């Protein structure tokens, strides 16, 4: 019986001859098949994963050098390009589109010996918080199938939650890794902006987007970071300095100075059990000798509107390429009017939420409203960056809940976009200012639903964040 604990243990079993990559792939394919009702996978690559696994087994037996991700079984969100494989952003507009190149992250996974087992369902173009915006149906939370897994990387979270792969790559523009990780009881890590190349990641809002990682342990997150982060000539926003070595990061017994936002903990939208668990955790941290202090973060109520003005503006521009000519679904009806042709392609290809955001984004960028919305939101973003810098001059980390409520029921919020947007109150901040943030699966409600604690560090201090996280997970 195959059992996965961590990459390190698995790779020890491989080198000792106690298991094989082929056995691991077979095991995961069985688990995937047994969980088809969760609707996690848009496509699995079972046959080719088995071929690759046997090549890796052979390479190991031949004594060839092994990559950091040797034999690791990985799922990727359907917004990350994998050469010669389909990628659709869970949208009809890209149905049957095949990648002609590998994303840098994909290439690096493969270079380090990883096995990609399939592409995972998500909200269309990564827009959403419940995975209900996929053109291929909702994903279900394995903890309670009447509930959403969160979004937009819902499939990637449930894949790790239900043990259908060892690790998943998702993308996080405003919480899409941390929020589903919170709802599903797994770790979800969004690195600093510019840490993992965005080359080959289908763009939603380019100044916010970051590839992130779902895993069961901080050690596994670190190995993936070691494998895929770092400079990339194909992404000019990717940091040009190499990242500190993530591997071997020890959970030091450092005492940290940690801030939390008192108005976030007292926010009326915060579920009482989440407030209670976070407050008790703060007391525990203090008892452990960390200095945990409340600060009043005056800008809290501005961050969701700022996020939605700026991301929809960027999305309206990024998604203009899907017009049926350059990319995407083309209406077969013959007509000679170009405007009608474009309209038909985009109206049929995009789902309702994506259309809403393109319209919103076009509106905030329009000549008459540009100053009032787009410029204003950019000013708030500047203010947030300034305020954040001040906070990190005094503190090592900030802690907050990840989401104000545990996983909600399927359909519960789908008719109320504002309600859905407001649920992003704690996660969008990290993307607005580009800092690293993680959701740690530390808590459960009385009913048994998982929820997490969010921890953030200053920009490019991902290593400190992972060390502190390891510490907190062991508390």
**Residues annotated as catalytic (active site), given as ranges:** 77, 152, 176
**Residue 113 in contact with ligand GLN, rule: CB under 6 A:** no
* Nearest position to ligand GLN, beta carbon: 176
Reduced 3-state DSSP string for 353-365 = HHHHHHHHHHHHH
Q: C-beta of 431: minimal distance to ligand GLN in Å?
A: 7
Choice between 179 and 222, CB closer to ligand GLN: 179
**C-alpha torsion sign, points 266, 272, 278, 280:** positive
Q: Which stretch binds ligand GLN (CB under 6 A): 24-32, 121-129, 191-199, 389-397?
A: 121-129
Q: Which residues contact 91 (CB under 8 A, 6 or more apart)?
A: 124, 125, 135, 349, 350, 351, 354
End-to-end CA distance of the chain: 31
Q: Using CA atoms, how far apart are residues 271 and 364, in angstroms rounded to an integer? A: 32
Q: Which residues contact 289 (CB under 8 A, 6 or more apart)?
A: 255
| 428 touches 380 (CB < 8 A) | no
- Do strands 167-172 and 73-77 pair parallel, antiparallel, or not at all (unpaired)? parallel
Q: C-beta of 218: minimal distance to ligand GLN in Å?
A: 21
**Residue 126 in contact with ligand GLN, rule: CB under 6 A:** yes
Q: Which of 13, 14, 32, 127 binds ligand GLN (CB under 6 A)?
A: 127
**Residue 131 in contact with ligand GLN, rule: CB under 6 A:** no
Q: Using CA atoms, how far apart are residues 36 and 160, in angstroms rounded to an integer? A: 14
Taking residues 178 to 217 in sequence order and writing x for each that binds ligand GLN by CB under 6 A, - otherwise, the string is --------------------------x-------------
Choice between 141 and 173, CB closer to ligand GLN: 173
Q: Which of 152, 222, 318, 439 binds ligand GLN (CB under 6 A)?
A: 152
Q: Which of 173, 197, 229, 414 binds ligand GLN (CB under 6 A)?
A: 173
| 112 touches 246 (CB < 8 A) | no
Number of residues that bind ligand GLN (CB under 6 A): 14
Q: Which of 124, 172, 182, 249 binds ligand GLN (CB under 6 A)?
A: 172
**Residue 175 in contact with ligand GLN, rule: CB under 6 A:** yes
Q: C-beta of 292: minimal distance to ligand GLN in Å?
A: 28
Q: Which stretch binds ligand GLN (CB under 6 A): 99-107, 166-174, 276-284, 403-411?
A: 166-174
Nearest one of 182, 173, 167 to 201, comparing CA atoms: 173
**Residue 78 in contact with ligand GLN, rule: CB under 6 A:** no
**C-alpha torsion sign, points 22, 27, 32, 33:** positive
Q: Which of 124, 182, 396, 424 binds ligand GLN (CB under 6 A)?
A: 424
What is the DSSP track for 377-397?
Answer: HHHHHHHHHHHHHHHHHH-SE
- For residues 224-234, one letter each, b for 16 or more C-beta atoms within 10 angstroms of the residue's C-beta and e for the rest, the string is bbbbbbbebee
Q: C-beta of 152: minimal distance to ligand GLN in Å?
A: 4
Taking residues 300 to 329 in sequence order and writing x for each that binds ligand GLN by CB under 6 A, - otherwise, the string is -----------x------------------
Q: Using CA atoms, how far apart are residues 475 and 470, in angstroms rounded to an integer? A: 9
Residues in contact with ligand GLN by CB under 6 A are: 126-129, 152, 171-176, 204, 311, 424
């Amino acid at each position: 019986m195959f059992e996965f604990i961590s990459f390190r243990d698995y790779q020890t079993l491989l080198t000792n001859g106690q298991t094989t990559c082929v056995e691991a792939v077979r095991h995961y394919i069985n688990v995937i098949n047994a969980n088809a009702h969760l609707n996690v996978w848009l496509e699995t690559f079972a046959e080719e994963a088995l071929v690759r696994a046997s090549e890796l087994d052979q390479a190991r037996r031949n004594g060839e050098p092994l990559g950091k991700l040797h034999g690791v079984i990985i799922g990727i969100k359907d917004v990350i390009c994998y050469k010669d494989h389909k990628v659709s952003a869970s949208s009809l507009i890209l149905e049957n589109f095949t990648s002609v190149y590998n994303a840098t992250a994909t290439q690096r996974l493969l270079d380090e010996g990883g096995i990609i087992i399939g592409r995972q369902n998500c909200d269309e173009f990564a827009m959403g918080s419940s995975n209900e915006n996929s053109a291929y149906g909702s994903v279900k939370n394995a903890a309670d199938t009447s509930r959403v897994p969160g979004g937009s990387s819902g499939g990637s979270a449930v894949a790790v939650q239900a043990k259908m792969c060892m690790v998943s790559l998702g993308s996080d523009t405003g919480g899409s890794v941390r929020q589903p990780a919170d709802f599903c009881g797994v770790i979800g890590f969004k690195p600093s902006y510019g840490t993992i190349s965005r080359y080959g990641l289908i763009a939603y809002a380019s100044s916010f987007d970051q590839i992130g990682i779902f895993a069961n342990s901080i050690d596994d997150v670190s190995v993936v970071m070691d494998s895929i982060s770092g400079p990339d000539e194909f992404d000019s926003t990717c940091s040009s300095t190499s990242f500190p070595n993530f591997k071997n990061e020890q959970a030091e017994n450092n005492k940290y100075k940690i801030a939390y936002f008192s108005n976030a903990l007292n926010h009326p939208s915060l579920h009482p059990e989440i407030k209670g668990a976070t407050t008790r955790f703060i007391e525990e941290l203090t008892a452990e000798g960390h200095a945990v202090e409340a600060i009043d973060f005056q800008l809290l109520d501005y961050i969701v509107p700022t996020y939605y003005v700026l991301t929809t503006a960027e999305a309206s521009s990024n998604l203009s390429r899907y017009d049926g000519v350059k990319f995407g679904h083309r209406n077969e009806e013959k007509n000679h009017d170009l405007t009608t042709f474009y309209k038909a392609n985009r109206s049929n290809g995009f789902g309702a939420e994506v259309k809403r955001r393109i319209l919103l984004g076009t509106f905030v960028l329009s000549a008459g409203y540009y100053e009032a919305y787009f410029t204003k939101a950019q000013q708030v973003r500047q203010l947030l960056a300034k305020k954040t810098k001040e906070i990190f001059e005094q503190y090592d980390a900030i802690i907050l809940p990840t989401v104000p409520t545990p996983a909600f029921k399927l359909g519960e919020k789908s008719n109320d976009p504002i309600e859905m947007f407001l649920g992003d109150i704690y996660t969008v901040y990290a993307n607005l200012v580009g800092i690293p943030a993680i959701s740690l699966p530390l808590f459960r409600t009385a009913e048994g639903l998982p929820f997490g604690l969010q921890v953030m560090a200053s920009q490019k201090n991902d290593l400190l964040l992972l060390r502190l996280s390891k510490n907190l997970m062991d508390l």
